[in-house]
Amino acid sequence: MRIGSSIALIVIGAIVAFALDIQLAGVDLRLIGYILMAAGVVLLIISLAVGFGGRRTTTTTRSGIDPASGEQITRQDRRDGTY
């Protein structure tokens, strides 16, 4: 789940907890709303932690000898974790 779905859970939970005035036997809609809001907050925190977490860097080093001149060639490719 991403940030948008986390916010959607928070909004749906708030609507269920505060805006609905329906009485159902054996069902506490206010508690269900609070649970949905809490789940949305937890997922939002997880989404932000994963999204803004440390960046990954991949470095590849290749060495070889140029057949024409006999010189050693070192090539280094660097890629950060953004896609």
Longest dimension (CA), the chain: 87
Work out how many domains the chain is built from and give that number.
1
Residue 47 lies in a domain: yes
Is this model's pTM higher than 0.85 or not?
no
| pLDDT value for 83 | 46
Tokens linked to 76: 């280094």
Residue 67 lies in a domain: no
Alpha-carbon distance 26 to 18, whole Å?
18
* Rounded mean pLDDT for each run of 10 residues along the chain, 83 residues in total: 89 94 90 96 92 72 81 78 52
Residue 83 lies in a domain: no
Are 17 and 40 contacting, i.e. CB atoms less than 8 angstroms apart? no
Alpha-carbon distance 58 to 80, whole Å?
6
Give the mean pLDDT of the chain. Answer: 85
